[in-house]
Amino acid sequence: MLLTRLSFSTLSILFALIFIGGYVSSSGVGLSCPEWPLCPAGLVPMREFIIEYFHRTVAATTGIMVFVTMFFTLRSQETKRSTKIASMIAAALVVGQITLGAFVIVEKLHAVLVTVHLGMGLILFLMILTVTLDVNQISKTRLQKPVQI
Ligand code: HEM
């Protein structure tokens, strides 16, 4: 099932993004790109801000993947209402998270904003995990159905 692979890929890239975010924070390079949305050299990655550049690029990719996952979850006739709702919450959260990223930069890593950024990332992960598990359950049930002869 396409949605099984898609939701798992979205979950994996989101996990990687949270990991990279943690690294940005703990290595103190959060303001190496002091502008938003692009870094000082525009779309060109440079050694001085490569980690933060990577965080933003992966965030943009994750955003697209979360929306594609929502699209296919809503379109599927097999997914439950709660799964569809989780995918919509995830899409809203990813927009919120990227917007919040801008405030984190503008407000020069204000502690409250960074903490909310972490919390929102975790709720986003929970929503995509819910979608992934639900979709996986559907595929399993499909495989277990006896074949009618
Ligand atoms: C889906 C999108 C995103 C997710 C899931 C995400 C997740 C995270 C996580 C988990 C952290 C670590 C926080 C901590 O350890 O306290 C982090 C740090 C950070 N994020 Fe994001 N992020 C996203 C998008 C963005 C965007 C678009 C920007 C900026 C344009 C951004 C800027 C930052 C910065 C500057 C830090 C480091 C904060 C510090 O130095 O303490 N993030 N992110």
Q: How far apart are CA 93 and CA 140, in angstroms?
A: 28
> Based on the structure, what is the number of domains in the chain?
1
Instruction: Identify which of 91, 95, 98, 94 has the alpha carbon closest to the alpha carbon of residue 69.
Output: 91
Please identify every stretch of the chain with a pLDDT value under 70, giving residue numbers as ranges: 147-149
In a domain, 147, yes or no: no
Other CB atoms within 10 Å distance of the CB of residue 129:
16
Nearest CA to ligand 1 atom 43: 21
Question: Residue 148 falls within a domain, yes or no?
Answer: no
pTM reported for the whole predicted model: 0.94
Residues having CB closer than 6 A to ligand 1 are 17-18, 21-22, 24-25, 30, 36, 55-56, 59, 62, 94, 97-98, 101-102, 104-105, 109, 114, 117-118, 121, 124
Is 130 part of a structural domain of the chain? Answer: yes
Does residue 49 fall inside a structural domain? yes
The pLDDT score that the predictor gives to residue 145 is 75
pLDDT for the residue numbered 124? 98
Task: Answer yes or no: is 146 within a domain.
Answer: no
Q: Does 40 reside within a domain?
A: yes
Give residue 113's domain range. 2-139
